[in-house]
Structure formats: structure tokens, C-alpha cells
Amino acid sequence: MAIFWTFLIAALLGYIVGHYIIPNRKLRKALQEVKEKCTIALEEGNKGVYKTVVTDNNKTSELVVEVRELAVTTTGQVKVEYLSAYYKNPEFRTKKGEALLKEVHGLLGEYLPLSEIEWYETTERHENIKKYLTSLDVIHHNLHR
């Protein structure tokens, strides 16, 4: 009889652990990961495109640079981080990747004029992420009940 009760209690505890405790733990972990990714997306800052014409050896090409805003000065200059760059005329210069970004940093410097950068529109995206985070908080709160 004791073996029967032991088996019944073990089966009941196994059912509770397998269907309620472990899935909730996995769901909480997944919710936490999503919240962290959303927070990183909100903190990534403004991004934009800066275009200029570069002349070298009587050849010219338009240089298009994707930048991220790090800080804005009171004089209207933006400290930027260069994310990617390319020349519209590929025969103008052949550097690519990190070498091209170093060259761009040498040509343009750390600060660019605020008025000449075309910023990507991120307010709608950020609002959607904030709404999503709020709904995640509600779901997470309901799990802890």
C-alpha cells in the first residue's frame, strides 16, 4: 500500500513540475531576453546618412556614409560613429570594410554638421517597441501571480 501512495504522490508531483513549474521558468527566461533586446534597440540612438563629394586626382565620387549619433554640441556639430560607407563610383577608390571606415574617419573627422545629416525616422519604431515592452510587463506580472 505504501508503494502505491508513493507512486501516486510522485506522479502528481511530476505532473505539477512538468506542466507548471518548468514551462513558467522557460517563459520567464524568454520574456527577460526579449525585454533586454528591446531595451538595447531603444538605446541604440539616432542613425542617419551623410553624403559628400570627394575629389582626388581629377576624379570625383559621392561618398555615402551611415552614421550613429553619439553626442550633439551647442554649435550644431554631431559627434558620430561611422557604421558603413561606400563610394557611388566604385572605381574611384577600392578600399572596403574597416579600411574604408578608417579612411572616412581621416577625411571627415569625428564631428559632422547636424544640418547635413539625413536622420532615419525612428520615433514610430520606438513607440511600437515601448508598447510591446509594456505588454510584456503585463504578461510577466500575470505569470508571477
* pLDDT tens column, 102-129: 888 888 888 888 888 888 877 777 777 7
- Pull the grid cell for residue 22: 518548468
Give the count of beta carbons closer than 10 Å to the beta carbon of residue 129.
16
* pLDDT tens column, 13-56: 888 777 777 777 777 788 788 888 877 777 777 888 989 888 88
Q: Are strands 117-119 and 47-56 parallel, antiparallel or unpaired?
A: antiparallel
- Please report where in the chains the cell 521558468 appears, as a residue: 25
The answer to whether residues 60 and 51 touch, using CB atoms and an 8 Å cutoff, is no
